Structure 1
Amino acid sequence: MSGQQQINFEKPFIGSIDQGTSSTRFILFDSKGDTVLSHQIPLKQYHPNPGWVEHDGLEIINSVNECISQVLNKYKETNIGEISDIKAIGITNQRETTIVWDKNTGKPYHNAIVWSDTRTSSIVNRFNTKAESLLKKEQQSQSQQQIVPKDYLRDICGLPIANYFSAVKLRWLIENVPEIDQSNALAGTIDSWLVWNLTNKKTHITDVTNASRTMLMNLATLEWDSKLCDFFDVPNSLLPKICSSAEIYGHVESGPLAGVPIASVLGDQQSAMVGQMCFDKGQAKNTYGTGCFLLYNTGDDIVHSKHGLLTTVCYKLGKDSPVHYALEGSIAVAGAGVKWLIENLGFANNSKEIEALANSVQDTGGMYIVPAFSGLFAPHWRDDARGVMVGLTHHTNKAHIARAMLESTCFQTYEVLKSMEKDSNDKLVELRVDGGMTMNDLLLQIQADILGLPVVRPHNLETTCFGAAYAAGLTVGVWSSAMQFHIGKRFTPNPNIDHMKRINDWHKAVSKSVDWVDK
């Protein structure tokens, strides 16, 4: 828990729940957007089989309640204000992670299946075969242009058929958990689970940003689509109501925040866009966390990617507010690669030591790491890929490997950004960044050099959590317009460095990682 002196705080306050892949947090912000108090609890991941990643749904809600209690205890102890000074809370959450629970008992039927889980590969193959069959019929009758099976639904939902998204995870749960009684079951992403619990079983909702990650929502109508639900054989009765990202969904029913409205829900990457104040078409941010997620604001245009990106909802800040869309490039392994070096290989005790180790050499000695531990996400979408190290020599040591792991995040970001420029027919001016890895100055300098663009780290790094707080504050009138974006540090590319050969070598390394898993 952390706090500042009371003299710096400006009432009223907004709370924000950040339920992520590796931890749960609750942060209290003041009306200037400064962090007042926070508490964080690590979240255990379960790996019952190779490629499987799960969370315990009850552990998730317990961690949320504990974080809130810890912050509110400190809030009362320090006499910062009254409960009435906390005007609302917002929620931001790990996306795509899927859970099904009994609406009567409130207990999950099974652990939540996390976004990075790959158990659904056979289901994805089955649906790709189904799509191929349907495409043949449609193309014969309508003389349509050729579409690859995985993109069969992309024009409706903006997404390829892939392990990543919620529909196939929900399908796996329905097919493999016999205890699920569909007449009493509710399903959703983690935001739905949190709101339902916080409102004491009264509210089963999701917002447009989370719904746009399921493969079940129509991007144009912002509703569950009958063609999509039929294709994946997902009963509409299981699904939550789709709402905007900023409205009052209900009130906290118990605990220290009882009576406080829940006034925003945003998927974590979209919340970071809001927190970075990326409200203009053409602005982009990259979040460097467990994975890496680059979003590019396309305004009110639904831009269907031709270069391996996702089309998603960026935000809809109010029931009657316009919806903004985004192109997104999702990278499966970023900070998770550093964690792997620490926990699996014992290279260091923490990420700061990895940075120092990587900084002890000038380059990687010509070696590359492609950390495709669970396949490659954007722009490749290859679930048959696996991690590789290439270019090893007798000269290679731990420092080279540590630096190569950092560079892998930067090269993957380069690939995604180049795809965005092709889809949008525009070039980015700067890249705003956030997430835990952005404390690493070496990483951000390498990123600026490889991109040939300024990389901007904000003054307040809690952009994901603040995005949800800001949206909630808009809902209840704490804020009425965009806040000023404050730069923490700008990293400018070295004009004397030509990275094209290394970029080409990176592409060669990626080619070695694919076709590893037999389908």
Structure 2
Amino acid sequence: MNRGDGLILVIDQGTTGTRAALVSHNGLIVSYAYSEHTQIYPKPGWVEHNPLEIWEKVMLVVKEVIEKSKVDPRRIAAIGVTNQRETTVIWDPRTGQPAYNAVVWQDRRTAPQVDYLRSNHMDLVRSRTGLIPDPYFSGTKVWWLLDNVPGLRERAVRDESIFGTVDTWVIWNLTRGSGDTLTPGLGGAHVTDYSNASRTMLFNIHRLDWDDELLEVEGKIPRVILPLPRPSSDRDCYGYTGPEVSNKLFSGVSIPVCGAAGDQQAALFGQVGFEVGEVKSTYGTGNFLLMNIGDRPIMSRGNLLTTVFYSLERGRATYALEGSIFVTGAAVQWLRDGLKIIEVSDEVEPLAASAEDTGGVYFVPAFVGLGAPYWDQYARGLIIGITRGTTRRHIARAVLESIAYLNRDVLEAMISDTGLRIPRIKVDGGAARDNFLMQFQADITGVEVWRPKVFETTSLGAAYLAGLAIGFWGSLDEVRANWALDRVFKPTMDPETRERLYRGWKAAVQRALGWAKEVPWAYGYEQ
């Protein structure tokens, strides 16, 4: 197949929905399809998804993108997968039936287990994984499931249950029954890539393998249930699409699955952040800033995470510092669905821009605690500075400004950790289309904001990783040539105003920290 005629299929399984995209050799999205899935909230602070519905949506959007594009499946050279990270699935490898709903990365039910780890094993967890113990990560979710789903621990020990993050679940189903996987006998390829593994809090990022001591202290998790860690771009490929998938979607053609990465790592890869010091921020349900720090992990002093960025070969990886901000775009959805002060999300930008300032109002979106650089699972959201003159315009502006403030918090920590000057922030995700927010982001940080022409950088990253594995792209330089600039937002705010506004933000955050611990009965925590 001529590379110019070929395409890479990407499955981008996110927190609120699933996207399929076909990516051409010049880095353009030829066609895409998207479908939302159900959000399940059994208790305050609990968030779940139905894994079977997720797989149904994967099949649906892949079928739709092929039908819309009228592409001959023989043109699809490889498949790449990118995914919501940390979300945890355990299922029966004989039947494909989940043991329980997927426990989502936003879920906070494992706060007691995290308190135990912070009190007794903080240094162990941080030094081995680069992570700060938090309910965000997969390890304590697995621990909770093994302890709370009747009979699950016993089935796990008997090889009757296996664990994976969403990449693992999707790849296992894609390759199920192919008879040509890395782990035959489990139905599909039971694999994960190093970047996703590094988000479990069970993975030693120095040795690039599961850590037996961490498995022991995090609820005695049996190693046998864990997937095989592999490079993000795997020349050997994870497996090939099985008969059911191939017949239903690809006219009987079996396609190699060769690339995978967590969504935030894939976005930095799609932003061609291959040089040390490159930074991207993705504006989605939450915001996630990653900085390429090279081939040696740096342990953060500023409460950032050290994570695997990507890997192109076994036993080697490039690392990143990450600031994970749990709620940003979700706060705009709350304005729409909770407060109902807007009808559709796109209304927030003109509403916010219609206010000259916030009138002294600050909004801290700690709906599920605060992530980097605070890592306070007991923080809760607040709106402060309200007066009789406060209107919905001021609140809308405060919500958008909070996103930019949280990004600055992380950038300050990155600069402190690395000593590097950050010349620009590359941005992507839905809210990066918001010109008001992008300008305020540049103003409050004093750093240029660069927006690319192609916004779907997560899909591009997964495509590039899969394509590099099979030679569809020959090098990182060839990939880099595809990146194109749309617009640069330059800082215009005077430094005195910038720092005065930021001091107000820091004061508001202090009032949000630890609130749920002060009134635990309101959030389902025991005294």
The alignment's TM-score, normalised by the length of structure 1, stands at: 0.92
Equivalent position of 1:192 in the other structure: 168
SS at match of 1:433: strand
Structure 1, residues 398-418: CA drift from partner, whole Å, max 9, x if none? 000000000101000000000
Conserved 8 A contact 1:151-1:160: no
CA apart distance, 1:319:
3.5
- Please, which of 143, 161, 164 is the counterpart of residue 136 of structure 2? 164
**What is the alpha-carbon distance in structure 1 between the residues aligned to residue 473 and residue 352 of structure 2?**
42
How many residues are paired up? 488
Q: 1:271 aligns with which of 262, 266, 274?
A: 266
One-letter amino acid of the structure 2 residue matched with residue 275 of structure 1? G
CA-CA distance at 1:202 after TM superposition: 2.3
The CA deviation at 1:43 is 1.6
Write out aligned runs for 1:121-136 (5 A): 121-131=111-121
Alignment match, 1:141 = none
Which of 31, 42, 47 is the equivalent residue of 2:41?
Answer: 47
Q: Distance in 1 between matches of 2:167 and 2:198?
A: 13
CA separation in 2, counterparts of 1:507 and 1:72?
49
- Report the equivalent of 2:322: 328
Q: Please point out which of 59, 66, 86 is paired with 1:96.
A: 86
Q: Aligned-pair distance for 1:179?
A: 4.0
Q: 2:249 pairs with 252, 256, 260, which one?
A: 256
Note the 1:16-415 alignment, pairs <5 A. 16-76=10-70, 81-131=71-121, 150-180=122-152, 181-182=155-156, 183=158, 184-200=160-176, 201-232=187-218, 233-247=220-234, 248-253=237-242, 254=245, 255-257=248-250, 258-319=253-314, 322-415=316-409
Q: Which amino acid aligns with 1:214?
A: T
| Contact map agreement 1:385 1:514 (CA 8 A) in 2 | yes
SS in 2 for 1:73: helix
Distance in 2 (alpha carbons) for counterparts of 1:480 and 1:14? 14
- Provide, for residues 54-106 of structure 1, a one-character-per-residue CA deviation record: whole Å limited to 9, x for no partner: 00000000000000111112233xxxx43221100100000000010011111
The one-letter code sitting in structure 1 at the alignment partner of 2:297 is: I
Structure 2 match to 1:514: 513
- Secondary structure in 2 matching 1:502: helix
Deviation at 1:124, TM superposition (A): 1.2
Return the TM-score normalized by structure 2: 0.91
**One-letter code aligned to 2:515:** W
Amino acid at match of 2:261: L
Query: Structure 1 residue aligned with 2:485, among 484, 487, 492?
Result: 487
CA RMSD of aligned residues (A): 1.3
Amino acid at match of 1:173: L
What secondary structure is seen at the aligned counterpart in 2 of 1:117? Answer: coil
Whole-angstrom distance in 1 between the partners of 2:491 and 2:365? 25
Give the Å deviation of 1:10.
4.4
Given that 1:271 and 1:463 are in contact with CA atoms closer than 8 Å, whether structure 2 keeps it comes out as yes
Whichever residue aligns with residue 320 of structure 2, its letter is A
1:269 shift after superposition: 0.2
1:461 equivalent in structure 2? 455
**Aligned mates of 1:69, 1:113 — CA distance in 2:** 27
**What SS is found at the alignment partner of 2:356?**
coil
Q: CA separation in 1, counterparts of 2:115 and 2:409?
A: 26
DSSP-derived class of the 2:339 partner: coil
**1:24-52 per-position Cα deviation (integer Å, ceiling 9, x unaligned):** 00000111111111100012110000000
SS at match of 1:106: coil
Name the CA distance, whole Å, in 2 between partners of 1:151 and 1:20: 31
In 2, distance between residues paired with 1:128 and 1:474? 40
Q: Which amino acid aligns with 1:486?
A: A
Contact 1:151–1:161, Cα closer than 8 Å, also in 2:
no
Q: Find the residue that maps to 1:156 and give its secondary structure.
A: helix
Q: Distance in 2 between matches of 1:17 and 1:202?
A: 17
Judge conservation of contact 1:29–1:466 (CA < 8 Å) in 2.
Answer: yes
Cα distance in 1 for residues equivalent to 2:212 and 2:441: 42
> Which residue of structure 1 lines up, in the alignment, with residue 522 of structure 2?
none
Task: Output the CA distance in 1 between the equivalents of 2:228 and 2:117.
Answer: 25
Amino acid in structure 1 at the alignment position of 2:418: S
Kindly provide the amino acid, as one letter, of the partner of residue 487 in structure 1: L
8 Å contact from structure 1 (residues 263, 475) kept in 2: yes
8 Å Cα contact 2:444-2:493 kept in structure 1 = no
Cα displacement (A) at 1:495: 4.7
- SS of 2:313's partner is coil
| Residue 440 (structure 1) aligns with | 434
> Is the deviation greater in 225-234 or in 12-21?
225-234
Q: Distance in 2 between matches of 1:433 and 1:193?
A: 29
Aligned match of 1:501: 500
Tell me, yes or no, if the aligned pair for 1:358 and 1:399 is still in contact at 8 Å: yes
The equivalent residue for 2:181 is: none
CA distance in 2, matches of 1:292, 1:75: 31
> Percent of counterpart pairs with the same letter?
42
Give SS of 1:52's match: coil
Displacement of 1:151 after TM fit?
4.1
The code of the aligned residue for 1:250 comes to: G
Aligned residue for 1:427, secondary structure, equals coil
Q: Which amino acid aligns with 1:192?
A: T
User: Which range moved further: 347-356 or 272-281?
Assistant: 347-356
Quick one: which amino acid aligns to residue 174 of structure 1? L
* Matched residue type, 1:313: V
In structure 2, the residue matched to 1:135 is none
- CA–CA distance in structure 1, aligned partners of residues 69 and 293 of structure 2: 40
- Give 1:237 shift: 0.5
- 2:368 maps to a residue whose letter is S
In structure 2, what residue type is equivalent to 1:237? Answer: V
